[in-house]
Structure 1
Amino acid sequence: MSKRGFQLTGVILLGASVALAGCSDSGNKADDTGNKATGTTNAGTKNAGADGGETVVTLWGASDFLKGDASPGQQMVKEFNEQNKGHIRVEARYMPWSEYNTAVQAAATSGELPDIFQTPQDTDIRTIVSNGWALPYDGLVSEDWKKQFTAASFAEGVNVIDGKTYSWPLTGPQLGSILYYNKGVLKAAGLDPEKPPTTWDELRAAAKTVTEKGKGDVFGLVFGGGEKGDSSGITKFVGSLAGGIDPQAASGFDYKTGRYEYSSSAIVDSFNYLTQLKADGSILPSSYTLKSTEASALFGQGTAAFLIDGRARMWIVKRDSPDIQLGLASVPTKDGSKPTYFYVSSDPSGYLISSSSKHAKEAGEFIEKGLASPLFYEKYLHSGVALTPIATINENKSLYPYPEFDTFLQLHQSELKLRPDNAIRNPQTAKVIVEMGSLTQPKIKPAYSDILQSVLIGAQSEKDIAKLLQAYDEKLNKGLDDAIAKVSGAGTNVSRDDFTFPNWDASKDYTQDDYKQLKP
């Protein structure tokens, strides 16, 4: 393919508990400097000195952990440069996603990609590799480097292509559903701040009490209902509750049956529970139009007692409301049992070494000793954003930024399970995902979040929710069938079976042995 003809084809893989690293406020922690870009280098920078003694390695990324001099990424780069003075100097440039996506497209077209670059949004490693823009890590990093990561961090069809390794998972498991509660608000309402609700009935009763005592100033719950897609507070709320009823169907796509199940009783019952909370008057009225950041700020200021959100909300609340008495707990379930959520350990996005790099060896050395090493991940964990892909670092309590982090880790360990991955079963399914735009099929409208929002605000009858979701499932299942037919018709060996895992037990991690049990 010619450089002029290069196009980044969109791929987003669905993960119920997996948010790709670097996505807006659910990505890595940003500082408050407001810096738009850090570093002044460009992809053409090569050697600092005329004698060529110090090699300059260029790095571009949109992960917030590179934003600002105080960020864990830039601090790591500074230390790495000091330790390797005269040998390697890294120049790391941060750009927000909108700027970054355009810059990488232009650099790829002109053949001037930096030595190390992050996969742009709406694409994945396989797409980049198939277009010839990345080198494998093999021979550039050691086997010991790979062994430090948690099990299943590298998988064929995800970040390993044709037996070659191209990236690593930027973060550890990411829990997308946590009950955050403001202990100060609960105490003011006469409730025990050390006993968060564990059942739906308890949550509803507590929310009612807080709202009644709040007299129009304080409410039981708040969420960012003005967001769209998976970022919508309504979508997160319903999915989080559904995880306590039928975890396999909670994300909308059931990997056991290989079918879309948005109309499952788990999702419908969870949505109906949300409408009950609304009828009680327990939800902050502005929640239906709020952005997630706005909902987070109001929660931190004591306007609401409860907020259900993902792992990123913890550090954001702690940053914006440092004096808050913050509690973290499992999302309540109907019967008080623990909910289950899922993640995939290997990541189809990440940082790659450019095939046009003249300093691939030095880039590999920086990845092994800097960007994907304890030098960075100890700082990353201490920032409080997420767990790392290195278990020994996650377990080092001396790195925890605040007391709540201990509960944060416990929730991740007790509630997350590895789910099956179609890309591992058959890497060629990536072509089907490309055809659809993502497993969530964004071209199909109205989308899931649109349907939930329209019914919740009264634009549609509450009686219509199951019917609307059933029609949505039919469109999605047809879309998947059509995409498979088109790709297989072009000669690719792929079928609906590649998306179906009949031996999946949602209560356990899905292992390599489970994949081997499937019929070829």
Structure 2
Amino acid sequence: MVTVSVNGMPPKTQPVDRKYFEEDIKEFEKQFPKIKIDAREGFMDPKVFSAKLAGGQLEDVYYVYFTDPAGLIQRRQGADITPYLKDVPYVKDVKPELQKVFTGPDGKIYGLPNGQYSLGLVYNRELFRKAGLDPDKPPATWDEVRTAAKRISALGDGTVGYADFSKNNQGGWHLTSWLYSMGGDVATQQDGRWKAAFNSEAGKKSLQALHDMRWTDRSMGTRQLLEIADVQKMMGSGKLGMYMAGPDNVPTIVKQFERKYSEFGTAAMPGSATLGGGNGFMFNPKASPEKIKAGVQWIQWKYLNPDREEFVTKRSVKDGVPIGLPLDLLYSGAAMEKVDAVHAAHATVPQKNFAQFVERNAKLTQKVEPPNAQQIYTVLDGVMQAVLTKRDADFDQLLATAEKKVNAVLATVK
């Protein structure tokens, strides 16, 4: 018998997710009677992580965000799990770009993904119809976004064509995705050191597009300094055409504002790339080989298991969890087809509303957040705020000033 400690258990404030987690532990232990799961709440906390590891308090299997693995691997704070993956089902079917997040410079694998998201455009299908736009053919370029936003704003009665975030680090987060979509970067690595990269043609194009919608077209409304809750409320009120977000935003809007799934769609990010993120699990470098092997079995069985998708989906439908949204697209090939077929058979949301997202998103480059992302976003918030509140904002000055501040942030990356 081997006991494996794992975190990531949902708190009691999420009763349905908690119930599922506890049910899954019982079923797993029934199928693998020589393994016991010691489940704990909580996720990766960078402030206490190193102390927990040094003090022997870190779980054998611990939850991380996609921004964590590179640094953890570099500091040797994650175990090499490559030897334990040879006979594990479906690991080979995980999308290469997601598995790459957990792959070290040495080519070895240090973790497994279990969740993934990509930013795109959430849009109001009814406003598209009213503006004479085809809701089944949402914008695929930023020029098309601008045109659609103008037509939606022209409906009047307080209707806004496009909205974006600009505070509480959410503006910097979205500006990062703007840059990616325009073919740029926020930061790049040069000779082993990170440098700001947004003071570029892509940076200027991003700011110009925002400026033009805000001040020339006036399709972003006059109220600015928004964050996600503000924009979701606008969408929930039926007065917003589009905003940058992933498909996971739609259930929030439907639930909080008593809307219907048929009212909304999600399009892929215009341009050539999008900001993608996610989460997964890594393994304590001090854990025994037996614990690591058992932990890998648990992660694969619970999170990377197309064979359980029928059961998991039916259970979710019973509890009113929406099925059919393009979320956690973890696999490629036959494994993804198997999952898609199950979701299509039990869909509770109109999948055609998300078809463009699925089709185009697969062709976009998925780029993760920069290192020290939240500190960088604090700086870039100021850039977004200036462009959206000052008609005569100086792009060159904004980018140059932000570049110096972000380089100081990146100088601390280890």
CA 1:299–1:446 in structure 2 vs 1: closer, same or farther (change >3 Å)?
A: closer
SS at match of 1:262: coil
Q: Give, in angstroms, the shift of residue 308 of structure 1.
A: 1.9
Aligned equivalents of 2:268, 2:226: Cα separation in 1: 24
Which residue of structure 2 lines up, in the alignment, with residue 185 of structure 1? 127
Residue of structure 1 aligned with 2:186, choices 239, 245, 252: 252
Tell me the secondary structure at the aligned position of residue 6 of structure 2. strand
Q: Does 1:351 align with 2:282?
A: yes
Where in structure 2 are the equivalents of 1:401-480 lying within 5 Å? Answer: 401=347, 402=349, 403=351, 404-416=353-365, 438=371, 442=375, 447-458=379-390, 462-473=392-403, 476=406
Q: Residues 197 and 476 (structure 1 numbering): CA distance in 2 closer, same or farther, change over 3 Å?
A: closer
- Alignment partner, residue 281 of structure 1: 218
Task: Tell me the SS of whatever aligns to 1:453.
Answer: helix
2:159 equivalent to 1:221 = no
CA distance in 1, matches of 2:197, 2:83: 44
1:363 corresponds to 2:304: no
Tell me if the contact between 1:312 and 1:386 (Cα under 8 Å) persists in the aligned partners.
no
Classify the secondary structure of the residue corresponding to 1:221: strand
CA contact (8 A) 2:118 2:366 kept: no
- Residue 150 of structure 1: aligned partner: 95
SS in structure 1 of the partner of residue 121 of structure 2: strand
For residues 216-240 of structure 1, give each alpha carbon's deviation from its aligned partner in whole angstroms, at most 9, with x where no partner exists: 2x32222333331xx32x752x555
Structure 1-normalised TM-score? 0.60
| 3-state DSSP of counterpart to 1:60 | strand
State the number of aligned residues: 388
Structure 2 unaligned spans of 5+? 314-321
Deviation at 1:182, TM superposition (A): 0.5
Q: Counterpart in 1 of 2:317?
A: none
How far, CA to CA, are the matches of 1:62 and 1:453 in structure 2? 37
Q: Is the 8 A contact 1:179 1:309 kept in 2?
A: yes
In structure 2, what is the equivalent of residue 42 of structure 1?
A: none
Whole-Å separation in 2 of the counterparts to 1:102 and 1:220: 40
Closer, same or farther: CA 353–368 of 1 in aligned 2, 3 Å:
farther
- Residues 290-305 of structure 1: pairs in structure 2 closer than 5 A: 290-305=226-241
Asked if the contact 2:81/2:111 (under 8 Å) is kept, the reply is yes
Q: Where does residue 306 of structure 1 map in the other structure?
A: 242
Give the Å deviation of 1:136.
Answer: 2.9
Change (3 A) 1:405 1:87: farther
Q: Which residue of 244, 248, 272 corresponds with 2:208?
A: 272
Q: Which structure: greater strand fraction?
A: 2
Is the 8 Å Cα contact of residues 247 and 266 (structure 2) preserved in structure 1?
no
In structure 1, C-alpha distance between the alignment counterparts of 2:41 and 2:135, rounded to whole Å = 41
Q: Distance in 2 between matches of 1:374 and 1:118?
A: 21
Q: Distance in 2 between matches of 1:266 and 1:274?
A: 12
- CA gap 1:212/1:126 in 2 versus in 1, 3 angstroms: closer
Partner SS, residue 59 of structure 2:
coil
1:388 corresponds to = 330
- In structure 2, do the counterparts of structure 1 residues 140 and 417 end up closer, same or farther at CA, with 3 Å as the change threshold? closer
Shift, 1:372, TM fit:
3.7
Match for residue 319 of structure 2?
A: none
- Out of 36, 57, 60, which is 1:112 matched to? 57
1:350 alignment partner AA: F
Which residue matches 2:118?
175
SS at match of 1:61: strand
After TM superposition, the structure 1 stretch with the greater mean CA deviation from structure 2, 272-281 or 256-265, is 256-265
Give deviations 1:357-390, integer Å, cap 9, x for gaps. 5744432332343344335777599574321145
CA contact (8 A) 2:95 2:332 kept: yes
User: Where does residue 70 of structure 1 map in the other structure?
Assistant: 17
**Cα distance in structure 1, aligned partners of 2:367 and 2:226:** 32
Root-mean-square deviation (CA), in Å?
4.4
In structure 1, stretches of 5+ residues that fail to align are 1-51, 333-338, 422-432, 488-520
Q: Distance in 1 between matches of 2:332 and 2:309?
A: 8
**Which residue among 75, 88, 94 is the counterpart of 2:41?**
94
Partner amino acid for 1:61? Answer: G
**Structure 2 vs 1, CA of residues 226 and 300 (structure 1 numbering), >3 Å: closer, same or farther?**
same
Q: Is the 8 A contact 1:88 1:362 kept in 2?
A: yes
* Whole-angstrom distance in 2 between the partners of 1:252 and 1:116: 31
Q: Is the 8 A contact 1:59 1:91 kept in 2?
A: yes
- Name the structure 2 match of 1:159: 103
| 1:153-186 C-alpha deviation (Å, 9 max, x unpaired) | 555x9534756432123345x433x222111223
CA distance in structure 1 between the aligned counterparts of 2:79 and 2:141, rounded to whole angstroms: 50
Q: Alpha-carbon deviation of 1:477?
A: 5.6
Alignment of 1:33-44 (within 5 A): none
For the 8 Å contact 2:121–2:268, the answer to whether it is kept is yes
**In proportion to residue count, which structure has more helix?**
2
Identify the residue that residue 28 of structure 2 maps to in structure 1: 80
Q: Are residue 340 (structure 1) and residue 272 (structure 2) matched?
A: yes
Aligned-partner SS, 1:467 = helix
Higher RCO, Cα 8 Å, sep 6+: 2
- 1:486-501 equivalence runs, <5 A: none
Larger radius of gyration: 1
Deviation string, structure 1 residues 54-74 (Cα, Å, up to 9, x no partner): x5432112789x954436755
Contact 1:170 1:389 in 2 (8 A): no
